[in-house]
Each structure stands twice: as structure tokens, then as C-alpha cells.
Amino acid sequence: MYKPFITLPSLTLKSLFEYSTKEYRKLPFVQFIDEESITYGEFAIKVEQVQEMLYEYGIREGDKVALYSANMPNWSIVYFAVTTMGAVIVPILPDFHISEAIHIANHAECRAAFISQKLFENMLDERQPPSLNLLVILDKLLVLEKLSTPSRVEKAIQKSGEQLSKAMDKLGREHSEKKEIEIDENDLAAIIYTSGTTGSSKGVMLSHKNLTFEATAAQGLVDIYPNDRFLSILPLAHTYECTAGMIVPFLNGASVYYIKKPPTPTILLKAMATVKPSFMLSVPLVIEKIYKNKIAPNFQKNILIKMLYKIPWVRKKLHKIAGKKLLESFGGELSFFGIGGAGVSPTVEKFLREAEFPYCIGYGLTETAPILAGTNPTKTKYRAIGPAMPGVELMLRDKNEDGVGTLWAKGSNVMLGYYLDPEKTAEVLMEDGWFNTEDIGYFDDDGYFFMSGRAKNIIVGASGENIYPEQIEATINAHDLVADSLVYDDNGDLAARVYLDYEKLDELIGVRQKSETQTHEKISRILEEIRQEVNGKVSSFSRIKKMIEQRDEFIKTPTKKIKRYLYVESAK
């Protein structure tokens, strides 16, 4: 089927919004699973109602509005309401502690905030919210006064119902005094506060052009049709899900489904069976867990299968059979499974390729709204990300003799800068528009980018070799008994913290039935076996000197990357 390229009058969210709500007005756009869908036309009405409320409470062009909640249909309604009236949205990840959320709202100088009832009740236990013109419970779009005790929440909700009704009724009774807003492509649309692995959270300023360009450019990678269904499992406050999982389907008339509960394996399987998604976005951890827990054990059932699995053509056949079953468990109609946020395990990627599972890997940063490179499932290469996004320039600087260098990017998706931080902006964003990703990698002859690691994470070996800890971690994590790992420099030697899969460990050695001394001895032997196995698979200068048991699960960012600074700095 031929898919015409959608061209907008201007690269603004307002232009995109007006196009889609007119073009697809009768089609379903967003909904919770098992609930009524909101059509594009109904969505437009709800957006206008929220804008009326914002205007009633003094919110104007350029004002900042915080959005602190898990995924829900009202999240996208508020996002478009704020951005298409010329105000600035400040999405806050629900994983952030309430004190972090309050700090962000204060730093961004927010004049209004939309917050889910659950998170709001947590906030009352913590401290007072910042001074705002408007505070709204997102679940029902109910206006609240600033409260001091959780017991007053319900009373405030009841009281606010009348206030909100009056504001909404006014929309239908009379023309508002507000003028038609003119938005420029380079106007600020969103401030995204990152939770980086380096420990410093920065407010990334994204313009209307940054976000809308990404949505239009994505048409050069994959065709999306109005009958496509997106199942959203990543937080909307992260740019990856917001852009690729909300704005992109919105431009193309597709529908988006949200899950009310955290996407545990059981809930996720049920959701996929109901929705039968054609598109999903994920982080590596999701598919890696599925592989390790549901797929890999089938290839180790008995000695015969183990032996046959070592024969390449037999392994490929088994992978293909497993791939069909995996696709069925995803609803049977999946055509695009996008993986982003971090590198995927080589073992898992090899399975996905041989299983003919429709995966692809995207690469980018919050600072680039976010996609810089990638491809569709029909054009993937093993261990590669893909070529530059259409309309994006990529180049390597400071290359070594192997062609590995630091990746720089330029394009309409590169951020305006960091909010209230010109010094940090100047460190990575040049006057000519080139942005330093601080990621290391190389290009092949086809222009596919292969990422080696983060520049800040590189460890220099004894003879000056560049050692990329992420690559060694991928080898460690491929072991059946490893849940996660972190490699670091320990006074000139390579060391690794390893968080084991304790459920599998208990099945194997029955740790719960052993004394602490016996358990420690057994785990020490297992870690040594893993170390020797890994060292047999990596280069001589990348060999691990010692492995340490990480007894508590690693603290991670919302995209499931380990906050390295918490462990590397403490090890020094």
C-alpha cells in the first residue's frame, strides 16, 4: 500500500495538531485498554477545554506547566493543550522522587501543575507543593487548592468539580477573550529534565521544530497507517516514548493504548493479547528478560537439545520456531518492535535476527528529541544501530586508527540548550549547530552507526587501549545466572560488580537451605567461573581481574541504565 508523505504548513505542534484532528477526526486515538477510545475529534474538544481552564487561571504564552504522572489518556490531552496554546510543558518522570519533582517544578518556574492523584497524595506526606496558580489532579482534570493533609483531598476534589464545570461551560457559552496564538517553529515547547547516569539532571529545552521534525522525518524510516495500534509501556515523560510513541502515531492517525497497572509480564501478555499491537517501543531490559526467562531455558532442557543447539543450522531452526511463538504471545500482528535507551545484548539480538522477530534499534538522546539514527525491521544489521535519521547529519571527530571516534550531530532535532545553564550548553552545543553526543562509535561502508560506548565511561588500559565497559558488561550479562553487571577501573585493574539472578541461583544450589558461609563460598565459586568464561571471550586487555557480588539491585535511570556514578565513584 502506498503511503503519501505528510507535509505540514509549519513544524509546530499546533500545525501537527490541527492537521491530525481534522484529517482523522472520526478515528480512535487514545484509550486505556478495556475502556472507550477517545477519537481525534473528541481529543481536540478536550484539548480546547483544558486550554480554557488554563486561561481562566492566568496561564499564558511562555508559562511553564508541570506534568507529573504515569501514562494515561489525559497526559496526552494536557501535553497538546499546553504546547498548542504557546505555553511550555515540563514532563516529570513518575519514577522521580516527589522531592525531585518539586525541585524540577521550582527550577522550571512552573505556574501550573497537573499531577496524578496517587503521586499528589505522596507529595502531601513529603512537603507542600511549590507556589502555583493552578494545581490539577490529572486523572479527572479536577482543580485543587494547595493542601496540607491527605485527608482533605477528597473534599477538594468534590469542591473543584463545580469550579471546573463552570470553566468548561464557558467554552460553549461565549467566545473567550484569548486571541489566536501564533507559534514559531523555534519557540520553546518542552523542558525535559534528564536523569542521567552521571548524576546531574539537566533541563533540556526542545522547540516545536525539534519535536515536529522528528515526527515528520520518521516517515522516511517506517510507514504507519491509521489502522495501526501502538501499545505504550514506557513513561511518556521520557522523550523516546513521547515523540515516537505519542507524537508520531498522532501525525499518522494511529491509535495508542495505555495500561493502568505496571506492565508486569502477566499484565503485559494479557494487554498484548487484547490490543494485538502492530507497533511497540521498548528498552532492552524487557526483551532480554523475556529471552532469559522464557526462551533460553527451552534450549537447555536436556542433553540432546543442548548438543543439537550447538549446531548452527539446528540452532537457527529452533530460533525460528521460538520466534513464531514469541510473535504469537505479542498478539500475532506485531510489525515493529523498536528498542532504544541502551544497547541490547548480542546474544539476544542474535536470537531476534534468527527468529525473524520484527525488531529494530534506534539511537538518540533527550537533547536530540530523541532519534538520531535507526532503521526499520527489514533493514537491520547485527550489532548496528542504523544510518542517520533522514534530515540529520552525523560525523565522527577525534577518530583513532580503527575509525572509532566521538559522534557529533546536526539537524532540526538538536535542542535549544539547557534551561538556565549556558555554561553546560556551551560545552556540548557549538555555535554552528553541531552537538557533541559524547558517545563513541564508528560507521561501516553503508553508513550504519555502531556504538562502542559513552566517552565518559571509557577506561584506558595499561598500554593505552580504549576499553568500553558496556561491551564487557554485555558479555557478562549473557550468562544465565547474571541479572546485571557494571565494569569499572579499580586502581588500574578491571573489576566488575555482578547482580545475580537469585531465583535461578536458588533453583540451582538452594541458597535458602544453606548457611551464610556455604552460600558465600558457592557464590564466590560461581563468580569465578563467570569471570573465567567472560575472559575467554574478550580481548586480553579487557579481561576482568575480580568480580564482586552486588547484593542489592542496581539503581537505574527510567530507561533502565545503571547510574554508574553511584558505584564507580564509591569504588575509588
Is 550 domain-assigned?
yes
H or E element that contains 321:
helix 312-329
Query: Which of 137, 330, 340 lies closest to 239, judged by CA?
Result: 340
Evaluate whether 85 touches 54 at the Cβ level (below 8 Å). yes
Report pLDDT for 148.
Answer: 41
Q: Indicate the pairing of strand 110-115 with strand 134-137.
A: parallel
Query: Which of 419, 481, 52, 7 lies closest to 206, judged by CA?
Result: 419
Is 315 domain-assigned?
yes
CATH number of the domain that residue 523 is part of: 3.30.300.30
Taking residues 167-184, report their average pLDDT. Answer: 60
- Is pLDDT at 152 greater than 70 in this prediction? no
Provide CB contacts within 8 A for 144, sequence distance 6+: 120, 135, 136, 137, 153, 156, 157, 160
Is 522 domain-assigned?
yes
181 and 132 part of one domain: yes
Taking residues 129-148, report their average pLDDT. Answer: 79
Structural domain count of the chain: 3
Cα–Cα distance for residue pair 475/96, rounded to 1 Å: 30
Cis peptide before 4 (omega within 30 of 0): no
Cα–Cα distance for residue pair 414/203, rounded to 1 Å: 14
H or E element that contains 496:
strand 493-500
Phi, psi of 394, deg, nearest 5:
-130, 140
196 and 252 part of one domain: no
313 and 179 part of one domain: no
Report pLDDT for 166.
Answer: 52
- Is pLDDT at 150 greater than 70 in this prediction? no
CA atoms lying within 13 Å on the CB side of residue 177:
4
Evaluate whether 549 touches 496 at the Cβ level (below 8 Å). no
**Residue range 97-122, pLDDT digits in tens:** 888 888 899 999 999 999 999 998 87
Cα–Cα distance for residue pair 11/386, rounded to 1 Å: 25
**Predicted confidence band at 492 (pLDDT cuts at 50, 70, 90)?**
confident
Which comes out higher in pLDDT, residue 102 or 205? 205
249 and 114 part of one domain: no
- The CA–CA distances, whole Å, from 436 to 203, 405, 421, 428 equal 17, 11, 16, 5
Is 219 domain-assigned?
no
Cα–Cα distance for residue pair 393/374, rounded to 1 Å: 13
- Is pLDDT at 127 greater than 70 in this prediction? no
Taking residues 391-398, report their average pLDDT. Answer: 97
Report pLDDT for 173.
Answer: 41
Name residue 23's amino acid. E
CA atoms lying within 13 Å on the CB side of residue 304:
0
CATH number of the domain that residue 435 is part of: 3.40.50.12780
**Predicted confidence band at 149 (pLDDT cuts at 50, 70, 90)?**
very low
Cα–Cα distance for residue pair 89/83, rounded to 1 Å: 6
432 and 473 part of one domain: no
Which of 403, 433, 455 is the last residue in one of the domains? 455
Is 431 domain-assigned?
yes
Query: Which of 206, 185, 207 lies closest to 194, judged by CA?
Result: 206
Report pLDDT for 569.
Answer: 62
What is the CB neighbour count within 10 angstroms for residue 3?
A: 11
What is the CB neighbour count within 10 angstroms for residue 275?
A: 23
381 and 249 part of one domain: yes
174 and 268 part of one domain: no
3-state percent breakdown (helix, strand, coil) of the chain, nearest 5: 40, 20, 35
Instruction: Please report, rounded to a whole number, the percentage of residues in the chain having pLDDT higher than 90.
Output: 70
- Is pLDDT at 3 greater than 70 in this prediction? yes
Is 268 domain-assigned?
yes
Which of 150, 184, 207 is the last residue in one of the domains? 207
469 and 443 part of one domain: no
Is 229 domain-assigned?
no
Taking residues 514-534, report their average pLDDT. Answer: 88
306 and 186 part of one domain: no
Query: Which of 377, 337, 345, 379 lies closest to 245, judged by CA?
Result: 337
Q: Which residues pair with 28 in a beta bridge?
A: 39
The overall average pLDDT reported for the chain is 89
- Is pLDDT at 201 greater than 80 in this prediction? no
488 and 447 part of one domain: no
Cα–Cα distance for residue pair 139/162, rounded to 1 Å: 16
Evaluate whether 370 touches 437 at the Cβ level (below 8 Å). no
Report pLDDT for 426.
Answer: 97
pTM value > 0.75? yes
Q: Which residue has the cell 558505584?
A: 567
Is 343 domain-assigned?
yes
CATH number of the domain that residue 176 is part of: 3.40.50.980
Evaluate whether 548 touches 490 at the Cβ level (below 8 Å). no
Q: What is the CA radius of gyration of the chain?
A: 25
Cα–Cα–Cα angle for 258, 264, 270, nearest 5°? Answer: 65
- Is pLDDT at 283 greater than 80 in this prediction? yes
SS3 call for 547: strand
**Residue range 27-55, pLDDT digits in tens:** 999 999 999 999 999 999 999 999 999 99
Cα–Cα distance for residue pair 550/153, rounded to 1 Å: 41
Which comes out higher in pLDDT, residue 521 or 388? 388
Phi, psi of 337, deg, nearest 5:
-120, 95
Taking residues 458-486, report their average pLDDT. Answer: 88
Q: Any idea which of 254-258, 388-392, 508-512 has the lowest mean pLDDT?
A: 508-512
- Is pLDDT at 501 greater than 50 in this prediction? yes
Which of 154, 178, 207 is the last residue in one of the domains? 207
466 and 447 part of one domain: no
267 and 412 part of one domain: yes
Cα–Cα distance for residue pair 322/319, rounded to 1 Å: 5
**Residue range 58-71, pLDDT digits in tens:** 999 999 999 999 99
Report pLDDT for 143.
Answer: 92
Taking residues 433-462, report their average pLDDT. Answer: 92
Query: Which of 68, 74, 457, 463 lies closest to 246, judged by CA?
Result: 74
Taking residues 161-166, report their average pLDDT. Answer: 49
Q: Indicate the pairing of strand 88-92 with strand 64-68.
A: parallel
**Predicted confidence band at 178 (pLDDT cuts at 50, 70, 90)?**
low
**Residue range 525-571, pLDDT digits in tens:** 999 999 999 999 998 889 999 999 999 999 887 767 888 888 886 55
* Domain interval for residue 81: 13-207
